[in-house]
Homo-oligomer: A and B are copies of this chain.
Amino acid sequence: MLYFENDYCEGAHEAVLKRLIETNMEKLPGYGTDKYCESAKEKIRKACGCPEADVYFLVGGTQTNEVVISSLLKRYEGVLAAATGHISLHEAGAIEYTGHKVLALPHREGKISAGAAAEYLETFYQDESHEHMVFPGMVYISHPTEYGTLYTKKELEELSGLCEKYHLPLFLDGARLGYGLVSPDTDVTLADIARLTSAFYIGGTKVGALCGEAVVFPGKAPAHFLTMIKQQGALLAKGRLLGIQFAALFTDDLYMEIGKNAIETAEILKKALAEKGYRFLLASPTNQIFVILENQRMERLREKAVFSYWEKYDENHTVVRFATSWATKREEVEELISLL
Protein backbone atom coordinates (compact mmCIF):
# COMPACT_ATOMS: atom_id res chain seq x y z
CA MET A 1 0.00 0.00 0.00
CA LEU A 2 1.30 3.44 -0.95
CA TYR A 3 1.12 6.08 1.73
CA PHE A 4 0.41 9.69 0.82
CA GLU A 5 -2.04 10.43 3.59
CA ASN A 6 -0.04 12.93 5.57
CA ASP A 7 3.45 14.10 6.47
CA TYR A 8 3.65 12.49 9.88
CA CYS A 9 3.33 8.80 9.16
CA GLU A 10 6.92 7.78 9.86
CA GLY A 11 9.00 8.14 13.02
CA ALA A 12 12.05 10.41 13.03
CA HIS A 13 14.64 11.18 10.39
CA GLU A 14 17.54 8.82 10.87
CA ALA A 15 19.98 11.57 11.86
CA VAL A 16 17.54 12.68 14.52
CA LEU A 17 17.03 9.15 15.76
CA LYS A 18 20.76 8.60 15.80
CA ARG A 19 21.28 11.45 18.22
CA LEU A 20 18.51 10.16 20.46
CA ILE A 21 20.26 6.81 20.55
CA GLU A 22 23.70 8.26 21.20
CA THR A 23 22.57 10.43 24.08
CA ASN A 24 20.06 8.03 25.54
CA MET A 25 21.84 7.11 28.76
CA GLU A 26 23.34 10.51 29.52
CA LYS A 27 22.05 11.89 32.77
CA LEU A 28 20.54 15.29 32.16
CA PRO A 29 18.48 17.75 34.15
CA GLY A 30 14.79 18.03 33.36
CA TYR A 31 12.26 20.49 31.99
CA GLY A 32 14.34 21.80 29.12
CA THR A 33 17.32 22.95 31.19
CA ASP A 34 19.76 20.49 29.67
CA LYS A 35 22.68 21.29 27.40
CA TYR A 36 21.03 19.89 24.29
CA CYS A 37 18.09 22.21 24.65
CA GLU A 38 20.55 25.06 25.12
CA SER A 39 22.50 24.05 22.05
CA ALA A 40 19.34 23.63 19.96
CA LYS A 41 18.17 27.09 21.00
CA GLU A 42 21.50 28.56 20.04
CA LYS A 43 21.42 26.89 16.62
CA ILE A 44 17.89 28.12 16.02
CA ARG A 45 18.79 31.66 17.05
CA LYS A 46 21.60 31.53 14.55
CA ALA A 47 19.41 30.12 11.79
CA CYS A 48 16.94 32.92 12.43
CA GLY A 49 19.59 35.61 12.48
CA CYS A 50 18.19 36.57 15.82
CA PRO A 51 20.78 36.19 18.60
CA GLU A 52 18.49 37.53 21.30
CA ALA A 53 15.45 35.39 20.56
CA ASP A 54 13.70 33.44 23.30
CA VAL A 55 13.21 29.84 22.20
CA TYR A 56 11.02 27.18 23.84
CA PHE A 57 10.23 23.62 22.85
CA LEU A 58 6.73 22.23 22.94
CA VAL A 59 5.38 18.85 21.92
CA GLY A 60 2.70 19.36 19.26
CA GLY A 61 1.02 21.90 17.04
CA THR A 62 -2.37 22.41 18.68
CA GLN A 63 -0.63 22.59 22.02
CA THR A 64 1.75 25.22 20.71
CA ASN A 65 -1.03 27.33 19.25
CA GLU A 66 -3.00 27.07 22.46
CA VAL A 67 -0.11 27.90 24.77
CA VAL A 68 1.29 30.76 22.72
CA ILE A 69 -2.02 32.41 21.89
CA SER A 70 -3.43 32.20 25.41
CA SER A 71 -0.16 33.55 26.78
CA LEU A 72 -0.09 36.54 24.45
CA LEU A 73 -3.74 37.60 24.64
CA LYS A 74 -5.27 39.72 27.34
CA ARG A 75 -8.48 38.24 28.61
CA TYR A 76 -10.74 40.65 26.72
CA GLU A 77 -8.99 39.90 23.44
CA GLY A 78 -9.49 37.38 20.66
CA VAL A 79 -7.27 36.26 17.81
CA LEU A 80 -7.81 37.14 14.18
CA ALA A 81 -7.38 34.14 11.90
CA ALA A 82 -8.47 32.81 8.54
CA ALA A 83 -11.84 31.11 8.73
CA THR A 84 -9.99 28.06 7.43
CA GLY A 85 -7.16 28.33 9.95
CA HIS A 86 -6.24 25.32 12.02
CA ILE A 87 -7.21 27.13 15.21
CA SER A 88 -10.54 28.11 13.67
CA LEU A 89 -11.62 24.64 12.69
CA HIS A 90 -9.52 21.69 13.66
CA GLU A 91 -8.35 22.12 17.21
CA ALA A 92 -11.57 21.14 18.97
CA GLY A 93 -12.08 24.65 20.31
CA ALA A 94 -8.71 24.71 22.07
CA ILE A 95 -8.47 28.50 21.91
CA GLU A 96 -12.00 28.98 23.21
CA TYR A 97 -11.24 26.50 25.98
CA THR A 98 -8.70 29.02 27.24
CA GLY A 99 -11.37 31.74 27.18
CA HIS A 100 -10.62 33.49 23.91
CA LYS A 101 -12.59 33.90 20.72
CA VAL A 102 -11.17 33.14 17.30
CA LEU A 103 -12.26 36.06 15.12
CA ALA A 104 -12.68 34.63 11.63
CA LEU A 105 -11.40 36.60 8.63
CA PRO A 106 -12.18 35.85 5.00
CA HIS A 107 -9.37 34.00 3.24
CA ARG A 108 -8.07 33.30 -0.21
CA GLU A 109 -6.61 29.80 -0.52
CA GLY A 110 -6.05 29.72 3.22
CA LYS A 111 -4.36 33.13 3.39
CA ILE A 112 -5.61 36.33 4.95
CA SER A 113 -4.60 39.71 3.60
CA ALA A 114 -3.48 42.81 5.40
CA GLY A 115 -6.37 44.50 3.65
CA ALA A 116 -8.98 42.20 5.12
CA ALA A 117 -7.43 42.48 8.57
CA ALA A 118 -7.24 46.26 8.28
CA GLU A 119 -10.88 46.43 7.32
CA TYR A 120 -11.81 44.33 10.33
CA LEU A 121 -9.80 46.54 12.64
CA GLU A 122 -11.12 49.80 11.23
CA THR A 123 -14.71 48.64 11.38
CA PHE A 124 -14.17 47.45 14.91
CA TYR A 125 -12.77 50.69 16.24
CA GLN A 126 -15.35 52.76 14.36
CA ASP A 127 -18.16 50.80 15.98
CA GLU A 128 -19.41 52.91 18.87
CA SER A 129 -20.23 49.80 20.84
CA HIS A 130 -16.89 48.10 20.37
CA GLU A 131 -16.29 48.03 24.12
CA HIS A 132 -19.09 45.46 24.16
CA MET A 133 -17.21 43.30 21.69
CA VAL A 134 -14.14 41.07 21.68
CA PHE A 135 -11.04 43.17 21.09
CA PRO A 136 -8.85 41.89 18.27
CA GLY A 137 -5.66 41.14 20.20
CA MET A 138 -3.35 39.39 17.77
CA VAL A 139 -3.14 37.99 14.27
CA TYR A 140 -2.59 34.30 13.55
CA ILE A 141 -1.42 32.99 10.21
CA SER A 142 -0.14 29.62 9.11
CA HIS A 143 2.74 29.36 6.67
CA PRO A 144 2.38 27.14 4.72
CA THR A 145 -1.35 27.38 5.20
CA GLU A 146 -3.72 24.46 5.60
CA TYR A 147 -3.96 24.58 1.77
CA GLY A 148 -0.22 24.41 1.30
CA THR A 149 -0.06 28.00 0.10
CA LEU A 150 2.58 30.53 1.08
CA TYR A 151 2.66 34.20 1.94
CA THR A 152 5.00 36.32 -0.12
CA LYS A 153 7.52 38.51 1.64
CA LYS A 154 5.48 41.52 0.61
CA GLU A 155 2.31 40.05 2.08
CA LEU A 156 4.08 39.28 5.34
CA GLU A 157 5.51 42.77 5.46
CA GLU A 158 2.07 44.25 4.99
CA LEU A 159 0.59 42.11 7.74
CA SER A 160 3.52 42.91 9.97
CA GLY A 161 3.14 46.62 9.32
CA LEU A 162 -0.54 46.50 10.10
CA CYS A 163 0.11 44.62 13.33
CA GLU A 164 2.72 47.14 14.34
CA LYS A 165 0.32 49.98 13.65
CA TYR A 166 -2.29 48.42 15.92
CA HIS A 167 0.24 47.08 18.45
CA LEU A 168 -0.86 43.52 17.80
CA PRO A 169 1.43 40.51 17.95
CA LEU A 170 1.69 38.60 14.68
CA PHE A 171 1.97 34.86 15.28
CA LEU A 172 2.97 32.43 12.55
CA ASP A 173 2.06 28.76 12.83
CA GLY A 174 4.89 26.92 11.13
CA ALA A 175 3.75 23.35 11.61
CA ARG A 176 5.05 22.75 8.06
CA LEU A 177 7.52 25.60 7.97
CA GLY A 178 10.35 23.43 6.67
CA TYR A 179 8.38 22.75 3.51
CA GLY A 180 7.54 26.41 3.05
CA LEU A 181 11.09 27.65 3.40
CA VAL A 182 12.48 25.53 0.58
CA SER A 183 9.68 25.86 -1.91
CA PRO A 184 11.00 27.22 -5.23
CA ASP A 185 8.07 29.63 -5.16
CA THR A 186 8.93 31.41 -1.93
CA ASP A 187 10.93 34.57 -1.29
CA VAL A 188 10.53 34.26 2.48
CA THR A 189 13.43 33.16 4.69
CA LEU A 190 13.58 32.14 8.31
CA ALA A 191 15.26 35.46 9.03
CA ASP A 192 12.38 37.30 7.34
CA ILE A 193 9.93 35.51 9.56
CA ALA A 194 11.94 36.33 12.66
CA ARG A 195 12.06 39.96 11.55
CA LEU A 196 8.36 40.25 10.72
CA THR A 197 6.58 38.32 13.48
CA SER A 198 6.29 38.55 17.26
CA ALA A 199 6.23 34.79 17.63
CA PHE A 200 6.34 31.77 15.37
CA TYR A 201 7.04 28.11 15.60
CA ILE A 202 9.23 25.80 13.61
CA GLY A 203 7.38 22.54 13.17
CA GLY A 204 9.23 19.38 13.99
CA THR A 205 6.47 16.77 14.11
CA LYS A 206 5.82 17.05 10.38
CA VAL A 207 9.41 17.71 9.38
CA GLY A 208 11.62 14.93 10.63
CA ALA A 209 11.05 14.75 14.37
CA LEU A 210 9.20 12.19 16.46
CA CYS A 211 7.43 15.12 18.03
CA GLY A 212 8.24 18.71 18.90
CA GLU A 213 7.76 22.30 17.83
CA ALA A 214 10.22 25.11 18.50
CA VAL A 215 8.57 28.36 19.52
CA VAL A 216 10.60 31.45 18.73
CA PHE A 217 9.98 34.88 20.20
CA PRO A 218 12.30 37.11 18.21
CA GLY A 219 11.83 39.78 20.86
CA LYS A 220 10.95 38.54 24.29
CA ALA A 221 8.72 35.71 25.51
CA PRO A 222 5.80 36.71 27.73
CA ALA A 223 6.81 36.91 31.40
CA HIS A 224 6.64 33.53 33.14
CA PHE A 225 6.03 31.71 29.89
CA LEU A 226 7.44 28.53 31.44
CA THR A 227 4.83 28.63 34.18
CA MET A 228 2.09 29.02 31.59
CA ILE A 229 3.48 26.06 29.64
CA LYS A 230 3.35 24.03 32.85
CA GLN A 231 -0.15 25.31 33.64
CA GLN A 232 -1.38 23.96 30.33
CA GLY A 233 0.23 20.58 30.90
CA ALA A 234 2.74 21.17 28.12
CA LEU A 235 6.04 21.06 29.98
CA LEU A 236 7.94 17.89 29.22
CA ALA A 237 9.87 16.36 32.13
CA LYS A 238 12.42 14.92 29.70
CA GLY A 239 12.81 18.15 27.78
CA ARG A 240 15.93 16.58 26.29
CA LEU A 241 13.68 14.65 23.91
CA LEU A 242 12.89 17.91 22.17
CA GLY A 243 16.28 19.58 22.53
CA ILE A 244 18.21 16.67 21.10
CA GLN A 245 15.91 16.41 18.10
CA PHE A 246 15.99 20.10 17.27
CA ALA A 247 19.74 20.23 17.77
CA ALA A 248 19.98 17.48 15.16
CA LEU A 249 17.53 19.17 12.80
CA PHE A 250 19.50 22.40 12.96
CA THR A 251 22.88 20.78 12.40
CA ASP A 252 24.30 20.96 8.87
CA ASP A 253 21.10 22.47 7.54
CA LEU A 254 19.28 19.19 7.97
CA TYR A 255 15.91 20.88 8.48
CA MET A 256 16.16 22.59 5.08
CA GLU A 257 17.68 19.58 3.43
CA ILE A 258 14.87 17.22 4.34
CA GLY A 259 12.32 19.84 3.50
CA LYS A 260 13.60 19.82 -0.04
CA ASN A 261 12.87 16.12 -0.44
CA ALA A 262 9.19 16.75 0.23
CA ILE A 263 9.09 19.58 -2.27
CA GLU A 264 10.94 17.68 -4.98
CA THR A 265 8.76 14.61 -4.70
CA ALA A 266 5.66 16.81 -4.65
CA GLU A 267 6.84 18.60 -7.79
CA ILE A 268 7.26 15.31 -9.64
CA LEU A 269 3.81 14.22 -8.60
CA LYS A 270 2.20 17.54 -9.55
CA LYS A 271 3.84 17.53 -12.92
CA ALA A 272 2.64 14.00 -13.63
CA LEU A 273 -0.88 14.81 -12.48
CA ALA A 274 -1.00 17.86 -14.71
CA GLU A 275 0.30 15.92 -17.67
CA LYS A 276 -2.35 13.30 -17.13
CA GLY A 277 -4.98 15.99 -17.20
CA TYR A 278 -5.99 16.03 -13.57
CA ARG A 279 -7.43 19.25 -12.22
CA PHE A 280 -6.18 20.85 -9.00
CA LEU A 281 -8.29 22.60 -6.40
CA LEU A 282 -5.58 25.23 -6.22
CA ALA A 283 -1.91 25.63 -7.04
CA SER A 284 -0.03 24.68 -3.90
CA PRO A 285 3.71 25.33 -3.92
CA THR A 286 4.56 23.03 -1.04
CA ASN A 287 4.10 19.38 -0.08
CA GLN A 288 0.33 19.14 -0.12
CA ILE A 289 -1.45 18.55 -3.43
CA PHE A 290 -5.20 19.01 -3.71
CA VAL A 291 -6.60 17.11 -6.66
CA ILE A 292 -10.12 16.78 -7.99
CA LEU A 293 -10.78 13.11 -8.63
CA GLU A 294 -13.68 11.49 -10.37
CA ASN A 295 -15.34 9.37 -7.69
CA GLN A 296 -14.97 5.93 -9.25
CA ARG A 297 -11.36 6.58 -10.10
CA MET A 298 -10.84 7.67 -6.49
CA GLU A 299 -12.33 4.44 -5.21
CA ARG A 300 -10.11 2.36 -7.46
CA LEU A 301 -7.04 4.28 -6.39
CA ARG A 302 -7.94 3.73 -2.76
CA GLU A 303 -7.31 0.06 -3.18
CA LYS A 304 -3.63 0.72 -3.68
CA ALA A 305 -2.90 4.02 -2.01
CA VAL A 306 -3.79 5.89 1.14
CA PHE A 307 -4.58 9.61 0.78
CA SER A 308 -6.88 12.10 2.47
CA TYR A 309 -10.47 12.88 1.67
CA TRP A 310 -10.65 16.67 1.61
CA GLU A 311 -14.12 17.67 0.54
CA LYS A 312 -16.90 16.93 -1.89
CA TYR A 313 -16.41 18.79 -5.15
CA ASP A 314 -19.63 17.93 -6.98
CA GLU A 315 -21.87 14.93 -7.39
CA ASN A 316 -19.26 13.01 -9.33
CA HIS A 317 -16.02 14.44 -8.03
CA THR A 318 -14.13 14.66 -4.76
CA VAL A 319 -11.18 16.74 -3.66
CA VAL A 320 -8.44 14.60 -2.18
CA ARG A 321 -5.07 15.47 -0.74
CA PHE A 322 -1.75 13.80 -1.45
CA ALA A 323 1.02 14.75 0.97
CA THR A 324 4.70 14.11 0.53
CA SER A 325 7.23 14.50 3.32
CA TRP A 326 10.89 14.40 4.29
CA ALA A 327 10.55 10.61 4.10
CA THR A 328 8.85 10.18 0.74
CA LYS A 329 10.88 8.13 -1.70
CA ARG A 330 11.00 8.80 -5.44
CA GLU A 331 10.04 5.19 -6.09
CA GLU A 332 6.89 5.67 -4.11
CA VAL A 333 5.96 8.71 -6.14
CA GLU A 334 6.65 6.89 -9.35
CA GLU A 335 4.57 3.96 -8.28
CA LEU A 336 1.72 6.29 -7.41
CA ILE A 337 2.01 8.00 -10.78
CA SER A 338 1.83 4.67 -12.52
CA LEU A 339 -1.52 4.06 -10.85
CA LEU A 340 -3.07 7.37 -11.86
Binding site for B on A (CB under 8 A): 3, 5-6, 8-12, 14, 17, 20-21, 23-30, 59-67, 70-71, 74-76, 78, 89-94, 96-102, 104, 128-129, 131-135, 205-206, 210-211, 223-224, 226-228, 230-238, 240-241, 309, 327
Contacts and interface: CB of A to CB of B under 8 A. Distances in A.
Given A3-B27, A91-B233, A135-B227, 18 more contacts: A8-B238, A11-B20, A11-B24, A11-B241, A12-B24, A17-B24, A74-B223, A91-B132, A91-B231, A92-B227, A92-B231, A96-B96, A97-B99, A98-B99, A99-B99, A101-B101, A133-B227, A211-B237
A333 to B, nearest CB: 14
A138 to B, nearest CB: 14
A224 B135 CA distance: 9
Contacts of A234: 63, 233
A250 to B, nearest CB: 20
Contacts of A132: 90-92, 227, 230, 235
Contacts of A92: 76, 131-134, 227-228, 230-231
B230 A94 contact: yes
Contact of A235 (B60, B99, B210, B230): B60
